[in-house]
Structure 1
Amino acid sequence: MRTEELINKYSDRLTENDMDALSIILKNKNIIGSLNSKEISDFVYTSPAGLTRLAKKLNFNGFTEFKYFLKNDVEKSKDIAPNHMEILVNDMNDTLKLMKQTNLRPLVTAIHDANRVYVYGTGWGEKRAAELLARNFLAYDKPLFLIPSYTELLWVLNDITENDLLFIISFSGENKNLVKSLKKIRLKNVPYISITPLSNNTLSSSATYNLYYSNTNLNISDVPGTEYNYFSPLELVADALFRYYMDTYSK
């Protein structure tokens, strides 16, 4: 039995927090086996005791047994050719679930009430999502100011105030320049919305508001260190947030 099938089998025992933790574990199955219980619990925002309770809900004696099951699942999956269309559907469905679990009212209220709203994306895919956000909100008479690069982000941080709002979209949430900028953002008490994949990262851990999406890296190349990240679920988050804004602030 695959891990996903096991979760479905015992889904009636699982809380939303359990599902959030399992979502992170599933996306990082390849590295879970190399981490100890404390490292894993920090990674999924719970405690070692919480991991044990979660494992028992899945009918294991403890988390060590669950971890061994995960390791075997990873080994078995290496022999199975991935279905990339199925991966896309799963990522989109998981992202919709994450959006539905998020209380979006405070986010759209912050957007509506802010004097100025800025949007910064760290890379190509993130900038596309930023442009989509700006385009959608422009149609609703709520202009969002696109920040084209890190240099311009530094300019904005000189003048931004606690009455403004900043979107930061990042794949890793660990960009070195970005982490430095977060210190200035916190010092100025500027509220910001982070949009990242569902993971434990510096950007989301200190954000005022968080939005997450599900993302599965595609193993296209055998060259070590080569990543192929695709951003359809991220753009789904941008679209869904705007639609919720429209539902909340109907013209």
Structure 2
Amino acid sequence: MKLEELVNKNYEQLNQNDKHIWNYILMNKRLCSEININDLAKNCAVSRTTILRFAKKISLSGFSELKIHLKWDLEQEVSMMAESVDIICEGYTRTIQELARKDFFPICRLIHQAKRVFIFGSGDYQMSVAKQLKLLFLHGGDCFYDFDAVTMNKEFFQIVNSEDLVLLISLDGESKSVVSVAQQLKLSHVPVISISKLKNSTLASLSTENIYMNNTKISFDNKSTKTFESTASLYLIAELLFVQYNLYKNQL
């Protein structure tokens, strides 16, 4: 059992000194796994006996077993860090492999035939990718229009038509805002290119063409409340779409 679990299990038995010792250990795990009991007592401004009592209150035999648990926790954290990095990198690799195999011709044809191209992202990060796409294509001589959720209103649907093209960027493809936009565009016969996770989302089903990404989610501390979802693959997609489109133009 992890040291933190032992503390939580016996937390009601701990007094203020015990909680002070635990807070110090929690903030200095590596140091506490290396120093002796006298040094720990000095750093916590308590007696050697108080340290021993704390160890026993959390069901350990003494300070030696406390240090063993600290070393186990540190080893698990190092292992988790290495595994998390591997998971993130594998997500990037899968996205690149999928994109390398994908036929971008239908997507490039839609962009080239469109009178105007609009880009909409369902969140702050997605909008930053939309702006990156706009800058990339502007560099290639093509003008895209990006807009945020505030300006995505009924006036937009009054000016967009079947000769235009809309790129919708969403992580899960299920957010109410982006699904609503896709539904209205489909009713207006406006072609849509969606960029989202690799799965059968509502957005994907409403789109003319799709570009998928493999994103990954990791936890920093084995607690579900602290997770990180990788989204950098969206930038890979933006750059590759720009390259593919300019190659397409050169072949015309």
After TM superposition, the score normalised by the length of structure 1 is 0.63
Render the CA deviation track for 1:165-197: whole Å, top value 9, x for unaligned: 000000111111322232211111000000001
Secondary structure, counterpart of 2:95 in structure 1: helix
Other-structure match for 2:41: none
- From the superposition, tell whether residues 146 and 229 of structure 1 become closer, same or farther in structure 2 (CA, over 3 Å): same
Other-structure match for 2:86: 86
Question: Aligned letter for 1:213?
Answer: M
5+ residue gaps in structure 1?
1-79
The structural deviation recorded for 1:151 is 3.5
Other-structure match for 2:5: none
Other-structure match for 1:103: 103
The structural deviation recorded for 1:121 is 0.5
Secondary structure, counterpart of 1:100 in structure 2: helix
The structural deviation recorded for 1:222 is 5.9
Other-structure match for 2:185: 185
Matches within 5 A, 1:108-147: 108-147=108-147
The structural deviation recorded for 1:219 is 1.3
Bigger drift between 134-143 and 101-110 goes to 101-110
Secondary structure, counterpart of 2:167 in structure 1: strand
- After superposing on structure 2, the runs of 4+ consecutive aligned residues of structure 1 that deviate more than 4 Å are 221-227
Matches within 5 A, 1:27-46: none
Other-structure match for 1:204: 204
Maintained 8 Å contact 1:196/1:213: yes
Q: Distance in 2 between matches of 1:184 and 1:226?
A: 36
Question: Aligned letter for 1:149?
Answer: A
Matched, 1:244 2:244: yes
The structural deviation recorded for 1:206 is 1.7
Secondary structure, counterpart of 2:219 in structure 1: coil
After TM superposition, the score normalised by the length of structure 2 is 0.63
Q: Percent identity, please.
A: 26
Matches within 5 A, 1:15-54: none
The structural deviation recorded for 1:233 is 0.9
The structural deviation recorded for 1:160 is 0.6
Q: Distance in 2 between matches of 1:153 and 1:227?
A: 33
Other-structure match for 1:51: none
Q: Distance in 1 between matches of 2:219 and 2:153?
A: 33
Please, what is the CA RMSD of the aligned residues? 2.5
Secondary structure, counterpart of 2:211 in structure 1: strand
Secondary structure, counterpart of 1:194 in structure 2: strand
Maintained 8 Å contact 1:194/1:204: yes
Bigger Rg, which one? 2
Other-structure match for 2:35: none
Maintained 8 Å contact 2:170/2:178: no
Question: Aligned letter for 1:172?
Answer: D
Secondary structure, counterpart of 1:133 in structure 2: helix
The structural deviation recorded for 1:150 is 4.5
The structural deviation recorded for 1:113 is 1.4
Render the CA deviation track for 1:27-86: whole Å, top value 9, x for unaligned: xxxxxxxxxxxxxxxxxxxxxxxxxxxxxxxxxxxxxxxxxxxxxxxxxxxxx6252332
Other-structure match for 1:6: none
Other-structure match for 1:152: 152
Q: Distance in 2 between matches of 1:146 and 1:217?
A: 28
Q: Distance in 1 between matches of 2:124 and 2:217?
A: 16
Question: Aligned letter for 1:104?
Answer: F
Other-structure match for 2:214: 214
Bigger drift between 113-122 and 141-150 goes to 141-150
Render the CA deviation track for 1:63-112: whole Å, top value 9, x for unaligned: xxxxxxxxxxxxxxxxx625233223211111112112321011011111
Matches within 5 A, 1:54-93: 81=80, 82-93=82-93
Other-structure match for 1:168: 168
The structural deviation recorded for 1:249 is 1.2
Maintained 8 Å contact 1:125/1:230: no
